[in-house]
């Protein structure tokens, strides 16, 4: 539990009567990754063990603002700019709705194309 408390976090809410609510940066990264994977045409980035590859998402949270850097693998045949626009909108919406933080940037790098 002590290790959990020491993770890099940002305060979402603070109330002197009841305490504070904090969220870890890697939780914001997980929200971004899951949102991106919901977009049609995005192939989930998984390692050889079948688990999600976390290194494909990096978030920087400063003063209530989130910048997401995301590497995605797209399914063959999908329009790259259109799919990336959908990913950006989905990630921005998910991060903002779930955390209350402002997501100013969702930067995408195409890490590969997957043929089904």
With beta carbons less than 8 A apart as the criterion, state whether 17 and 45 touch.
no
Q: What is the pLDDT of residue 2?
A: 52
Query: How many Å apart are CA 103 and CA 105, to the nearest integer?
Result: 6
- pLDDT value for 63: 84
Please report, for the chain, the start and end positions of each structural domain, with discontinuous segments joined by +: 24-114
Q: Is the pLDDT of residue 14 over 70?
A: yes
Position 90 scores a pLDDT of 99
Contact (Cβ atoms closer than 8 angstroms) between residue 12 and residue 46 = no
CATH number, domain 24-114, options 3.30.420.40, 3.90.110.10, 3.30.70.1350, 1.20.58.1030: 3.30.70.1350
Q: What is the 3-state secondary structure (H, E, C) of 8-46?
A: CEEEEEEECCCEEEEEEHHHHHHHHHHHHHCCCCEECCE
């Amino acid at each position: 539990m002590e290790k959990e408390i020491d993770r890099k976090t940002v305060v979402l809410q603070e109330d002197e009567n009841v305490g504070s609510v904090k969220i870890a940066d890697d939780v914001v990264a997980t929200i971004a990754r899951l949102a991106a994977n919901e977009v049609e045409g995005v192939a989930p980035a998984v390692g050889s063990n079948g688990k999600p590859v976390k290194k494909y998402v990096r978030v920087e949270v400063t003063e209530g603002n989130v910048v997401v850097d995301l590497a995605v693998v797209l399914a063959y045949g999908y329009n790259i700019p259109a799919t990336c626009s959908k990913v950006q909108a989905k990630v921005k919406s998910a991060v903002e709705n779930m955390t209350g933080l402002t997501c100013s940037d969702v930067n995408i790098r195409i890490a590969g194309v997957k043929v089904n």
